[in-house]
Amino acid sequence: MKRTPSKILDELNKNVLDKQSAVQQLIALIENSTKIKYRLESLKILRKSISIENFGGNRDSLISFFENLLISDTDEIIRNEAALILCHEYKDKALNPMSWALHHEDSPLCLQTILNSLIRIVKNLVKRNDPITKLMLVHEIKQINEKDFKIGFEALKSTNGARDFTPRELADILINYFALVYLKKTNWRLKYKVYQCKIIELDFIFKGLTKLPSAIKHLTYLKKLIFRYNQITELPDWIKSLHVLESLNLNVNNLNKLPASIGSLSHLKELLLWKNELQDLPNSICSLQSLKYLNLRLNQIKQLPYNFGNLINLIDLNLHDNKLTEIPESISSLKSLNKLNLSWNLLTTLSQSITSLVSLTSLDLERNELIKIPTSIGSLKSLEILNLGDNKIEKIPETIGNLKKLRILNISRNKLINLPESLCSLENLKELYLSENILDTSSIILKKLEHKGVKIFL
């Protein structure tokens, strides 16, 4: 009768076959069968149904068998299953063969399994925390040929002096290295930066990605992560594991939402989400109190979280071309804000919350639905650039004359009939844009401004 994996398993369960005979027959099927189905099923039976540790003297011969499958079998599914078995059954001996396979494997499926297995093996060694563990980890690090890691490790040894590395420190070096090898093999011409054997920057520009590579979650020393010009639709919850990340660039992707876990990135200073498909923001984003630069231009955001003002260190906020109809009152708490771009939205009023931002040097409100500018505009005494173009404004208040630092004023494409006389008191005004209004171009105010050297664009 033709032998099949299921037949062998059935005979084993009924004690017709002993374990050693079953293993020998399964191995014969794996080595000789032309049917991938039988080969894979045989491997899975070995992995799940038989405790390899109970095979006594056969154990070493079995690891050699699985190693050979991992490094030389022509089918990626078989190699992948062999990697899983080595990881689960031979944690103490699989580090070297797995490392070799990582460097020589090309299949994305196998590479992912090998990387995950290596990280699991290394973490398991750390838990043992014995002298042999440290020797194994150091030996593996010394096999690394990557220049940044070789130089970095020597520098670390010099810095540490007589102090030994802890198993955790050694493991971190290997995990960063293994993850880098994987990412370089799966992403052509990957740009990266290494410091002290840790990956601190990764740049995946134009890689055609639809999701973040899961290997990144192991790189917990990352400070800068760039995914410009991809097709990423969402961020994984594990983004929170990048706890020292300072800059995250996802400009020009297809993000339609952000995970609540993004609020855990307490060191994040720069969040760039230009040109995505976001309609709202999680409240947790307001926990990013280290954030200084937030670019959300060219999305579809309809409203900001009510507690947006918690971003107290924000310097530059860009919300150009969204669908905002109002701004939360809490924005008045952004006392460090220098630049605010709200152009191309649907705002109908300029609220007190904006005119209380006394540190603003640039305010862009172009192409909204503004009809009236409040007298409180005069409170923005640090303002150098004010863009009110392409609205429905009928009058500019005299308090605009309080903006003594104003250099550029755009009030073109509105419904203005007159200009406030206080414009003449703006000693630093260099450019004034007035086109497409109903103004008297021969007015005394314009002549005075021209006489002062102001460039007027009608």
Q: Which two tokens stand for residue 189?
A: 């011409």
Tell me the mean pLDDT in the region 356-375: 97
Specify the residue for token string 């011409």: 189
| Mean pLDDT (whole number) for 237-264 | 98
- The torsion angles phi and psi of 335, rounded to 5 degrees, stand at -70, -15
Mean pLDDT taken over the chain: 94
Judge contact between 191 and 202, C-beta under 8 A: yes
Cβ pair 314, 289 in contact under 8 A = no
Q: Are 329 and 305 in contact (CB under 8 A)?
A: no
* 431 touches 408 (CB < 8 A): yes
Nearest in space to 411 (alpha carbons), one of 356, 455, 365, 374: 365
Overall average pLDDT of the 372-397 stretch: 97
One-letter amino acid for residue 378 of the chain: G
Q: What is the mean pLDDT of residues 414-418?
A: 95
For residue 9, what is the DSSP state? Answer: H
**Residue 56 confidence (pLDDT):** 47
pLDDT, residue 91, reads 86
CATH superfamily of 338-458: Ribonuclease Inhibitor (3.80.10.10)
* Residue range 343-365, pLDDT digits in tens: 999 999 999 899 999 999 999 99
Contact status, residue 342 vs residue 327, Cβ threshold 8 Å: yes
User: CA-based diameter of the chain, in Å?
Assistant: 110
Predicted confidence at residue 128, as pLDDT, reads 87
CB 350 within 8 A of CB 329: no
pLDDT band at 50 (very low <50, low <70, confident <90, very high): low
Using one digit for the tens of pLDDT, what is the confidence trace for 142-199? 999 999 999 999 999 888 765 689 999 999 999 999 999 999 999 999 999 999 999 9
Domain boundaries in the chain? 338-458
